[in-house]
């Protein structure tokens, strides 16, 4: 067999799931109805934005901020924390965990609409022939990694809770939503430009809206040449990392001495997790992992890296698969607008000569 059938190509299958998920999470209420979109969970472990009036579900970070800022914080301040205060928060987290157990961090790599959008930007950049930065320097990666935890602790938990306690202004009750690029991206895809604006209602709102617009612009710019720029700092990834041990999908490694000389798995990783290459541990589901499966695809040794659902293998590294997948990847990367234009110019010169 000279080519890899599309149904055996994990990346192609993932792209199909991403496309379906994107359409469902941006426009899905047209199918399931607005009642379902508003009431079923509001706790999806991916950035599905409630500001999108056609969405089929809500990101868990939305109710979490509101419950901390409008329910738990005021209750703590008044000294009236009770069962009715805690139940909504536990329901939100419980629903999140129920969904998260099923797919673990694959919600980032397979479901999240903003993740899909960033990969689309990368595809456009590649096809335009733009010079891509496939990997960041190790020092840069190490400095960026803590940001997702600061986003989670500060914007999703800290500021909303402080707002509810009365220590800071109420306008900081849901700060992550105010700067979240998914809010702008998903609404724009539905033809709504109202979220791409500068809010002058107060200095705080204005600063947050400027940060949000700027962050979206940075993603548009960086996404053309850098893999997954926002995923690296996304608080949802930090929340996933907290509970990753309970998810059913696992990423495991059977270390061999050849691993020290290879490193193709780390090179293939869009999140620059170099530890995949160096780790001798069985569990390689690191905090920054999105379970995209590229490390499994681009491992050239049989059975060294595997993605499993509980104990059932989903994809296991295989030299034959690697050979075909690597060939297909090189052919895909070679085909772009710049290469086509250069070839066209070469052909024109040859005819003139």
- Tens digits of residue pLDDT in 186-210: 999 999 999 999 999 999 999 999 9
Using an 8 Å Cβ cutoff, are 275 and 232 in contact? no
Q: What is the CA radius of gyration of the chain?
A: 22
Percent of the chain with pLDDT over 70: 97
Q: Which residue has the tokens 């681009």?
A: 298
Contacts 24+ apart (CB under 8 A), 336-343: 336/126, 336/127, 336/128, 336/129, 337/127, 337/128, 337/129, 338/128, 338/129, 339/129, 341/129
d(CA 79, CA 331): 64
Apex 96 CA angle, 93 and 101, nearest 5: 120
pLDDT (tens digit, 9 = 90+) per residue, 212-258? 999 999 999 999 999 999 999 999 999 999 999 999 999 999 999 88
Residue 25 pLDDT: 93
Q: What 3-state DSSP class applies to 179?
A: helix
Q: Which residue has the tokens 């000279």?
A: 2
Q: What is the mean pLDDT of the chain?
A: 92
Q: Is the pLDDT of residue 348 over 90?
A: no
Q: Is the pLDDT of residue 346 over 70?
A: no
Domain boundaries defined on the chain: 6-240, 248-332
**Got the DSSP string for 3-43?**
S--GGG-HHHHHHHHHHHHHHHHHHTHHHH-HHHHHHS-S-
Residue 76 pLDDT: 95
Closest among 288, 234, 245, 296 to 268, alpha carbons compared: 296
How would you class 280 by CB atoms within 10 Å of its CB: exposed for 0-12, middle for 13-18, buried for 19 or more?
Answer: exposed
Q: In what order do the strands lie in the sheet with 312-316?
A: 249-253, 305-309, 312-316
Confidence of residue 2 (pLDDT cuts 50, 70, 90): low
pLDDT (tens digit, 9 = 90+) per residue, 34-71? 777 777 788 999 999 989 989 998 899 999 999 999 99
83: number of CA atoms within 13 Å, CB side?
Answer: 0
Confidence of residue 305 (pLDDT cuts 50, 70, 90): very high
d(CA 60, CA 120): 24
How would you class 40 by CB atoms within 10 Å of its CB: exposed for 0-12, middle for 13-18, buried for 19 or more?
Answer: middle
Mean pLDDT of the region 282-296:
96
Q: Which of 4-8, 14-18, 179-183, 243-247 has the lowest mean pLDDT?
A: 4-8
Residue 340 pLDDT: 77
Q: Which two tokens stand for residue 174?
A: 């849901």
Using an 8 Å Cβ cutoff, are 33 and 84 in contact? no
Confidence of residue 1 (pLDDT cuts 50, 70, 90): very low
Q: Which residues pair with 59 in a beta bridge?
A: 44
The pTM for the full model equals 0.92
Which CA distances in Å does 66 have to 73, 79, 156, 300?
10, 19, 9, 47
pLDDT (tens digit, 9 = 90+) per residue, 130-166? 988 888 999 999 999 999 999 999 999 999 999 999 9
């Amino acid at each position: 067999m000279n080519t890899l059938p599309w149904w055996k190509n994990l990346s192609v299958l993932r792209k199909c799931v991403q496309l379906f998920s994107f359409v469902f999470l941006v426009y899905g209420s047209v199918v399931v109805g607005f009642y379902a979109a508003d009431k079923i969970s509001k706790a999806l472990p991916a950035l599905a934005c409630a500001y999108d009036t056609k969405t089929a579900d809500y990101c868990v970070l939305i109710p979490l901020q509101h419950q901390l800022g409008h329910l738990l914080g005021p209750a703590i301040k008044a000294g009236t924390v009770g069962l009715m205060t805690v139940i909504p928060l536990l329901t939100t987290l419980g629903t999140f965990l129920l969904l998260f157990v099923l797919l673990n961090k694959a919600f980032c790599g397979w479901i999240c609409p903003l993740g899909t959008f960033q990969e689309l930007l990368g595809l456009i950049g590649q096809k335009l022939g733009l010079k891509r930065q496939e990997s960041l320097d190790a020092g840069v990666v190490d400095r960026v990694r803590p940001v997702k935890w600061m986003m989670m602790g500060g914007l999703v938990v800290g500021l909303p809770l402080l707002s509810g306690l009365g220590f800071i202004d109420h306008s900081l009750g849901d700060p992550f939503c105010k700067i979240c690029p998914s809010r702008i991206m998903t609404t724009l895809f539905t033809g709504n430009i109202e979220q791409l604006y500068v809010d002058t209602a107060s200095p705080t709102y204005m600063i947050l809206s400027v940060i949000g617009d700027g962050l979206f612009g940075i993603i548009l710019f960086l996404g053309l040449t850098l893999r997954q720029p926002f995923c690296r700092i996304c608080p949802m990834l930090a929340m996933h990392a907290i509970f990753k041990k309970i998810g059913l999908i696992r990423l495991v490694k059977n270390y061999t001495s050849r691993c020290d000389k290879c490193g193709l798995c780390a090179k293939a990783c869009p999140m620059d997790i170099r530890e995949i290459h160096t780790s001798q541990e069985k569990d390689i589901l690191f905090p920054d992992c999105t379970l995209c499966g590229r490390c499994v695809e681009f491992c050239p040794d049989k059975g060294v890296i595997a993605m499993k659902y509980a104990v059932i293998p989903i994809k296991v590294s295989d030299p034959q698969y690697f050979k075909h997948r690597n060939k297909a990847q090189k052919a895909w990367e070679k085909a772009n607008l710049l290469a086509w234009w250069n070839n066209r110019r070469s052909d024109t010169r040859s005819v003139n000569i």
